[in-house]
Chains A and B, each alone.
Chain A
Amino acid sequence: MTLGSFVVRNAFRNKRRSLLTLVSISFSLLLLTLMICIWRSFYIDQVAPEASRRVITRDRVSLAFFLPAFYRDKIRSIQGVTAVAPMTWFGGRYLDERPAHFFAQVATDPDEYLKVASDKIVPPDQLKAWQQDRAGALVDVTLANKYGWKIGDRITLLGTIFEVNPELTIRAIYHRDPPQNAPYFNAKYLEEAVPWFKGQAGWYSTQIDSAENVARASQQIDDMFRNSPLQTKTESEKAFQLGFIATLGNVKAFILGICGAVMFAIMLVSGNTMAMSVRGRTREVAVLKTLGFTRQRVLSIFVSESMALSVAGGMLGTGIAIPVIWFLTRQFIALGVPLNMRVNWQTATLSLVVAIALGLVSGCIPAYRASRMNIVEGLRHIG
């Protein structure tokens, strides 16, 4: 019997208590892992190299206002711009109003769109077909699989913002990692159907030649339109997406608050369990000290037990987190939010380190009290 196995055996001696503590800690840690993943994907994750060269130019005041078509050529004249595509949120419905059938639909220019969205993979023959059919649609492979669409199928979108129900023929299917649920169609179709939309675009998606030039080019684009009636705001695609999340409220404070509450809860549960454990082993501790175990030894034994429990709970929690986060990411993508959350090594390690630290801290007080126990009193203790 080594000290290690002694600690582990004792930590899981009372099976029911250990199990309950484990499960409780694991749920708290599940939440913590979730928060870490969200924080990482919002604020830390770097985007793929192609995506990092894309900027979005929109009306400075609100995305609800359109930009004139002639802005496109002016943006193109900025040094470093390799491609500019107009984008307009169609915002229609498919089949009915239920959230299960909700996905983004965007009107754009097929001739230039894929130069900007270079991370979407489309077979060249399909791309050509889409460019040649004014009523054609480019759809995502996940969406196509969901509804069983094939090349040549016709789909009808029901317009809400625009008074038209486009009947589109699927001409191309794209793959992208991570997947994005949006069909794209030709903006000219929209212009012909809705006269007041002619000569406008919702926003412009621009590709810059290198990531280093992004900041400078963005600034130059905005400067160019500063004295126009419709001023622009140009930012990286990532910042644009983050902007939507920021409007939800003080997200950072919320995440940090949850993390704090969760860590406190873990400490409470873990400390509680250790206190109960120590209380039940008073005579045992006295015997240990009689045998010659020093105070420090006793202290370290109990702290180690606490850490063993919290590590086990942590591993369980991180394990549960993997499928839960996978499920949540799928939900987000279905809603059109391109969040790609994955539990990677760094996140799992961070969660476990936090668990160990909390186990250590929460075990300190009960362990200290055990170590300072009076041997004679302990031996005399009944119950």
Chain B
Amino acid sequence: MGYINTIIILGGINIIAALGVAILTGYTGLFTIGHAGFMALGGYMSAIFVKEFGVPFPIGILLGGTFAGLCSFIIGYPAFRSQLRGDYFAVATLGFSEATRLLLNNTRSMGESINAAESGIGMVFKPIGPLLVKLGGVFGYMSLPSPTNVFVVVVAVILALFFAHMFVTSQYGKNCIAISQDEVAAQMMGVNLLKTKMIALFVSAFYAGVAGGLMAFYFAYLTPSFFTITKSSDLLAAVVFGGIQSLIGPVITGFILVVFPELLRTFAEWRLIIYGFLFVIVMIFRPQGLLGYVEMNFEFARAWWNKIFRRKQNSQEG
């Protein structure tokens, strides 16, 4: 039973982060290989708020998500401002994610040198020295509370899906879709590219941050090694396979991509190799992924649900 709980929790966390990537990559067409960075920022900040400042756990998570969202402006603003329709953003996401991980790896040593500093620049950071040491650098931020359980995760996933649906069906979301299909035409028709992209990025980073927070309070500790490029690749995979411009697709694949590796531990080393080949194959043969461009509305969900139920009933009777 515990094993299934673990799967649901980890799957749910992955789904929430994958929804974030879906909003940015699936709906706005912006490639990101750096969402692990936002998960890290959200995770650590949530942990700090709850453990060091006694903030209640749900609020801590929301604050962590918001922090990740605000951090996204650091790369969003310079990258989206450029006139060149460039890949600045894509490269910046990778740089940002790795820089974050490096920073987190060095929190303890930075904190220790700040604590030991008698003069110089280190003095400015004196107040946060002890906190940095606590974050533990490579060794991790330990002894976190762990209120994350199945119920919390399921509620979080439902809320995440609901709000994501609200966003992508709103005027903001539709502007994002326009950007993904023809950015120049969208701008000519009045869409403010900078603002719209930054909004999409903020929401997407928020989702990843929340996922990071839930993760922190499930494992009861955090280390930077949770948030590598591999994690970002996993999230991207959920969207690529699940479908461009779809929410349910990445939800399904986001969950499956957590379940399968657990079941196929022996093939762990092959996982990324297979993903790699699948990326190319999907792009060439079925770029819309599993459920791409299928508009999610309740009729669709209901019909789908009925299809499953009918199949289940048939197999039970048959």
Bind each other: no
